């Protein structure tokens, strides 16, 4: 007997609505598509961006799902109005200027405060996917700085 048939039989025997026939199962795998390759000057390694929310006067925010292949990371940069990072998959790094690297895992949230210089990316051996949410975009979205050096990237321990 199939799983669907068992579910249906159970629902009917308990007098419940037979939802198994009308609600499709959740799709497995990544939450969002990987998207397109990010512009090379601002990143080291392979980075992909899938746009989620276009900037809009009503919301003043812009959002994308960003995937870093192992070893890939952003340049140092600043968000004039701040940024939230919602980690949806993998393992990666986040570092603010003058602070140690913070390890990121699926389910974690980062608050990059306005004006705080930082970078984010994958770990050396595992990819990272996060949703980047930039708010108050009327104050600016991002000001890019220099690449993260190998010495900086390998300073996690």
Residue number with CB closer to Mn ion (71 or 114): 114
Mode of pairing for the β-strands spanning 43-44 and 73-74: antiparallel
Residue number with CB closer to Mn ion (11 or 133): 133
The residue ranges that bind Mn ion (CB under 5 A) are: 83
> Nearest distance from residue 26's CB to Mn ion, in Å?
30
Residue number with CB closer to Mn ion (71 or 145): 145
> Nearest distance from residue 28's CB to Mn ion, in Å?
29
Tokens for 57, please give them. 């006067």
> Nearest distance from residue 86's CB to Mn ion, in Å?
12
CB-closest chain residue to Mn ion = 83
Residue number with CB closer to Mn ion (89 or 95): 95
> Nearest distance from residue 118's CB to Mn ion, in Å?
6
Residue number with CB closer to Mn ion (8 or 42): 42
> In whole angstroms, what is the distance from residue 3 CA to residue 126 CA?
34
> Nearest distance from residue 150's CB to Mn ion, in Å?
20
Using only C-alpha atoms, what is the Rg of the chain? Answer: 20
> In whole angstroms, what is the distance from residue 30 CA to residue 80 CA?
30
Strands (E), the chain: 36-37, 43-44, 47-53, 61-68, 73-74, 77-78, 83-96, 102-105, 109-112, 118-122, 128-135, 143-144
> In whole angstroms, what is the distance from residue 78 CA to residue 147 CA?
13
């Amino acid at each position: 007997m199939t799983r669907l048939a068992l579910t249906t039989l159970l629902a009917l025997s308990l007098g419940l609505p037979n939802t198994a026939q009308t609600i499709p199962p959740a799709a497995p795998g990544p939450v969002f598509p990987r998207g397109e390759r990010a512009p090379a000057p601002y990143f080291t390694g392979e980075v992909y961006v899938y746009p989620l929310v276009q900037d809009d006067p009503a919301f003043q925010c812009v959002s994308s799902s960003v995937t870093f292949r192992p070893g890939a990371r952003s340049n140092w940069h600043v968000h004039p109005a701040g940024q939230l990072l919602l980690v949806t998959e993998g393992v990666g790094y986040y570092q603010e200027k003058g602070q140690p690297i913070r390890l990121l895992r699926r389910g974690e949230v980062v608050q990059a405060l306005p004006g705080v210089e930082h970078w984010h990316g994958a770990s050396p051996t595992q990819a990272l996917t996060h949703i980047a949410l930039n708010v108050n975009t009327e104050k600016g979205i991002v000001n890019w700085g220099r690449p993260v050096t190998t010495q900086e990237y390998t300073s996690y321990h």
